[in-house]
């Protein structure tokens, strides 16, 4: 079978892959994006981006928002969920109502998006050759470079297929053996009648942290769409945490009972990632490289940043993709995603649960401190 040749092959059509493809195409490199899904496709993701993502991708908020969901966020409601009792207790939900505070900003600090729209927009905008609905079943290297499924060939390969990306696997990743964040999430469109009874506001996402600070839940309105979810750094009691959070949303926030089940997914935090991030003729980006922010689990901005960095390195390498030519990618990743240096970034993992809970309760009694630590430093990466 005759193969089709490109300058670069990108596995994965999410933000990391499409950002890389967009930059490579602009530099004159003939690029193909391969993805197992047909676009537009639904993607389990809370789905928010900071203004810096739009700036880096040279996207006008006005232009994008004209035809797509782009919900400005100017406020956040923060809370700490109470410690749940056993599911068979008569007061199973007695302590689920959290103490909350509202943090306001003078300008838009983030936007809610729908990944179905955003990813498809970036994919089409990249101008790359799109190979969708195609499972990557075989990747191997020969004298001509990388060959995928015996049909597409290129001297340079970029892995951007998420946590379980096949490119990451050939670099030694073992997703089943890694410590990951496990999340349950749902995005659904609500009727006008349902929204009238709901107390969620579009400009004010709501974030609720588990009592042991080992995870957090969210409820976000994006136009007519509701996105809710909960993620934890362990599997312990995940279903119980989700059940109590859903009860809280119905009882306290006016969210209707949802018929559709929540969907599961996992992602690897940059602080826990030991993945290989560069090899001869191959670079992983985004979740394939394990780059989600450790404070929030947010992965879109790291995906876009690393995708653009990968493209820069590929262009600068001038078709010489030996490890020594690709090595600056590691340096630029380290500069963009530095390891935690503050005590507050590292100490949480070694504190006992009762002490983390005590510190969390004190934190959420001080809105300005919660803003600085949870939002500015953690979610918005304003530093």
In a domain, 371, yes or no: yes
Helix %, strand %, coil % of the chain (to 5): 35, 25, 40
pLDDT of residue 38: 97
The separation between CA 111 and the C-alpha centre of its own chain, rounded to angstroms, equals 14
Number of structural domains the chain divides into: 2
Strand order across the 129-132 sheet: 129-132, 31-35, 8-11, 156-159, 282-284
Looking at the fold, whether 255 and 300 belong to one and the same domain comes out as: no
Pairwise CA distance, residues 303 & 383, whole Å = 18
- Give the largest Cα separation in the chain, rounded: 68
Strands 215-222 and 225-232 turn out to be: antiparallel
Give the tens place of pLDDT for each residue, 5-54. Answer: 999 999 999 999 999 999 999 999 999 999 999 999 998 787 899 999 99
Are 197 and 325 part of one and the same domain? no
Residues 187 and 256 occupy one common structural domain: yes
In this predicted structure, what is the pLDDT of residue 218?
Answer: 95
Q: What pLDDT does 19 receive?
A: 98
Are 83 and 212 within one domain? yes
pLDDT digits (tens, 9 = 90+) for 52-110: 999 999 999 999 999 999 999 999 999 888 765 544 444 444 444 566 889 999 999 99
Q: Which residues of the chain have pLDDT under 70?
A: 1, 83-99, 269-273, 294-297, 339-365, 383
Question: Is the omega angle on the peptide bond into residue 40 within 30 degrees of 0, that is, cis?
Answer: yes
Domain membership of residue 361 as a residue range: 75-108+181-267+353-379
Q: Looking at residue 23, which CATH number applies to its domain?
A: 3.50.50.60
CA–CA distance, 215 with 230 (Å, rounded to integer): 7
The pTM score is 0.89
Tokens 């401190």 correspond to 369
Q: For residue 202, is it within any domain?
A: yes
DSSP character string of 73-138: E-EEEEEEPPPPPPTTSTTTTTT-PPEEEEEE-SS--EEE--HHHHHHHHHHHT-PEEEES-----
Please check whether residue 126 lies inside any domain of the structure.
yes
């Amino acid at each position: 079978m005759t193969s089709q040749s490109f300058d670069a092959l990108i596995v994965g059509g999410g933000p990391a892959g499409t950002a890389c493809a967009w930059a490579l195409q602009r530099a004159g490199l003939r690029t193909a994006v391969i993805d197992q899904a047909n676009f537009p496709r639904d993607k389990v993701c809370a789905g928010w981006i900071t203004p810096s993502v739009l700036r880096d991708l040279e996207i006008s908020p006005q232009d994008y928002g004209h035809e797509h969901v782009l919900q400005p966020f100017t406020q956040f409601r923060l809370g700490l969920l109470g410690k749940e009792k056993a599911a068979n207790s008569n007061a199973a939900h007695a302590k689920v109502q959290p103490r909350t505070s509202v943090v306001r900003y003078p300008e838009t600090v983030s936007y809610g998006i729908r990944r179905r729209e955003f990813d498809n927009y970036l994919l089409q905008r990249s101008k790359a050759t799109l190979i969708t609905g195609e499972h990557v079943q075989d990747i191997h290297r020969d004298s001509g470079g990388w060959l995928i499924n015996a049909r597409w060939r290129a001297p340079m390969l970029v892995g951007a297929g998420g946590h379980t990306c096949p490119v990451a696997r050939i670099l030694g990743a073992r997703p089943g053996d890694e410590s990951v964040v496990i999340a349950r999430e749902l995005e659904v469109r609500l009727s006008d009648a349902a929204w009238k009874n709901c107390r969620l506001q579009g400009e004010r996402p709501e974030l609720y942290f588990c009592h042991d600070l080992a995870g957090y839940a969210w409820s976000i309105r994006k136009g007519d769409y509701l996105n809710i979810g909960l993620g934890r750094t362990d599997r312990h009691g995940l279903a119980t945490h989700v059940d109590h959070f859903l009860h809280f949303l119905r009882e306290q926030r006016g969210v209707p009972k949802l018929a559709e089940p929540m969907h599961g997914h996992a992602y690897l935090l940059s602080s826990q990632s030991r993945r290989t991030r560069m090899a001869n003729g191959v670079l992983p980006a985004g979740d394939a490289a394990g780059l989600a922010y450790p404070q929030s689990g947010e992965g879109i901005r790291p995906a876009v940043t690393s995708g653009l960095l990968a493209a820069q390195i590929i262009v600068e390498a001038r078709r010489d993709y030996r490890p020594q030519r690709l090595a600056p990618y590691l340096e630029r990743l380290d500069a963009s995603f530095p390891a935690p240096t503050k005590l507050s970034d590292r100490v949480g993992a070694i504190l006992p649960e009762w002490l983390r809970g005590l510190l969390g309760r004190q934190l959420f009694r001080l809105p300005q401190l919660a803003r600085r630590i949870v939002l500015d430093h953690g979610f918005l990466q304003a530093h």
